[in-house]
Amino acid sequence: MGRVETLGTLLDEAVLRFEAAGIDSARLDARLLAAHAFGWDASRVIAHPDHMLEPGQREAFEALLVRREGRESVAHIVGQCEFWSLDFTVTGDVLAPRPDSETLIEVALKAFDKDAAPSILDFGTGTGCLLLALLSEWPEARGLGVDISEAALAVAKNNARRLGLEDRVRFQMSDWDGTVDGQFDLIISNPPYIADGDFPALAPEVARHEPRLALSGGADGLDCYRALGPAIARRLAPGARAFVEIGFDQGETAAAVLTSAGLEVLAVHRDLAGNARVIEAGASKET
Ligand SMILES: C[S@@+](CC[C@H](N)C(=O)[O-])C[C@H]1O[C@@H](n2cnc3c(N)ncnc32)[C@H](O)[C@@H]1O
């Protein structure tokens, strides 16, 4: 016999299953996934716990619930993530944009005037979130996003089109600056920086479901900074700035790597939690 079920009982059941799977944000996630499964907005889910499930709604929700129990992030399940108040499409080929990375946007914006039109190079663009957020703030700016992953570049191109920024941005396949020509007023990057030994401690959402190519910084987490330092030094126009995201404990070590590549470290900016998050660098005065 079919049970008559309400949305409220469906959510309660999901919360129990999510808690059993070790998920902290169980109720919030259940609501977001129900909203996605039903094609509703989240406020409608909250406002209608007595809604009687319609044919197919339980099944649609169950498919998402199983993925979340397997510790796939909500962003990857719904295929979308907000960053800098913009909506980005997310697939299994890219890192979901992180709120911490908004620190890079805040500090980069302060380095140029509101009506600036810098040429921007984004190393390891992924979803394109950093580059597209900056282009959304500077209507005259233009940018190049590079990534070694063709699949990630397809996601970035799609995001540029959906945000109406495709006329001011190009994306190309490159191993850091391998296929890049010229120099830029602003270089940004959030490279992979997880040390091999830190992978076991990562949340399952990251370790199991995000691309290793977007995460792994080698034995000590600094491999990408070693490659990026010289690439940034080659691509900085005179007087230009670079902003590079780092792990919370990499302020000194990553700064030393960039300095040894001939860059001058101008500041290490902290995120809202007070952790070192972004290195600001320029060309060394000695070079
Ligand atoms: C941590 S993710 C950052 C993505 C995005 N910029 C963001 O902030 O969410 C790092 C990105 O660097 C790319 N990547 C890794 N190695 C690379 C390389 N050698 N050259 C270019 N991109 C690379 C990965 O494919 C991934 O998209």
Q: Which of 44, 70, 96 is the last residue of a domain?
A: 70
Q: How far is the CA of 46 from the centre of ligand 1 (A)?
A: 37
SS3 category, 107: helix
User: 109-134, pLDDT tens digit by residue?
Assistant: 999 998 999 999 999 999 999 999 99
In eight-state DSSP terms, residue 52 is B
Q: Same structural domain for residues 87 and 109? A: yes
Residue 25 lies in a domain: yes
- 217 and 239: one domain? yes
The answer to whether position 224 is within a domain reads yes
| Residue 101, ligand 1, Cβ within 6 A | yes
Task: Say if CB 283 and CB 275 are below 8 A apart.
Answer: no
Query: Of 32, 47, 70, which one is at a domain's C-terminal end?
Result: 70
3 CA to centre of ligand 1 in angstroms: 48
Q: Is the CB of 152 under 6 A from ligand 1?
A: yes
Tell me if 53 CB under 6 Å of ligand 1. no
Q: Whose CA is nearest to atom 13 of ligand 1?
A: 124
- Does 269 lie in the same domain as 128? yes
Distance 124 CA to ligand 1 centre (A): 3
Please say which residue of 15, 44, 70 terminates a domain. Answer: 70
CA quadruple 167, 173, 174, 179: dihedral sign: negative
Atom of ligand 1 nearest to the CA of 98: 9
What's the CATH number where 199 sits?
3.40.50.150
Q: Tell me: do 52 and 102 sit in the same domain.
A: no
Q: Are residues 247 and 117 in the same domain?
A: yes
Residue from 84, 95, 173 whose mutation best tests the ligand 1 pocket (most atoms within 8 A of CB):
95
Together in a domain, 119 and 216: yes
Q: Do 22 and 91 belong together in one domain?
A: no
Angle separating helix axes 251-260 and 223-235, nearest 10 degrees? 50
Q: List pLDDT tens digits, range 254-267.
A: 999 999 999 999 99
**Pair 122, 12 in one domain:** no
Where in the sequence is the domain holding 16, given as residue range(s)?
A: 7-70
Report the run of H or E that residue 279 belongs to, with start and end.
strand 276-283
Taking the CA of residue 127 as reference, the ligand 1 atom at the shortest distance is: 5
Please name which of 193, 74, 197 lies closest in space to residue 123, comparing C-alpha atoms.
193
Residue nearest to atom 2 of ligand 1 (CA): 214
Structural domain contains residue 156: yes
Is the beta carbon of 217 within 6 A of some atom in ligand 1? no
Residues 237 and 110 in one domain: yes
* C-alpha count within 13 angstroms, C-beta hemisphere, residue 286: 7
Residue 1's pLDDT is 43
Instruction: Give every CB contact of residue 177 below 8 A, 6+ residues apart in sequence.
Output: 121, 123, 146, 231, 234, 235
Q: What is the pLDDT of residue 2?
A: 54
What are the residues whose beta carbons fall under 8 Å from the beta carbon of 81, sequence distance 6 or more?
75, 87, 88, 90, 96, 97, 127
* CA–CA dist 158, 179 (Å, integer): 21
C-alpha–C-alpha distance, residues 163 and 160, integer Å: 5
Domain count for the chain: 2
Closest CA to 276 of 199, 193, 200, 203: 193
Asked, for residue 75, whether it belongs to a domain, the answer is: no
Report whether residue 213 contacts ligand 1, using a CB cutoff of 6 Å: yes
Does residue 1 fall inside a structural domain? no
77 in a structural domain: no
pLDDT in tens, 132-178: 999 999 999 999 999 999 999 999 999 999 999 999 999 999 999 99
Mean pLDDT, the chain, whole residue set: 96
For residues 142-157, b (16+ Cβ closer than 10 Å) or e, as one string?
Answer: bbbbbbebeebbebbb
Rounded to two decimals, the pTM is 0.95
94 domain-assigned? yes
In a shared domain, residues 24 and 151: no
**Does residue 133 have its Cβ closer than 6 Å to ligand 1?**
no
How many Cβ atoms sit within 10 Å of the Cβ of residue 287? 9
Domain identity same for 90 and 25? no
Task: Output the pLDDT for position 284.
Answer: 83
Quick check: 4 pLDDT over 80?
no
Atom of ligand 1 nearest to the CA of 189: 6
Same domain, 107 and 143: yes
**Which one of 76, 148, 171, 246 would you pick to mutate in the ligand 1 pocket, going by the greatest count of ligand atoms within 8 A of its CB?**
148
In a domain, 249, yes or no: yes
Closest ligand 1 atom, CA of 176?
A: 20
Binding site membership of 96 for ligand 1 (Cβ less than 6 Å): no
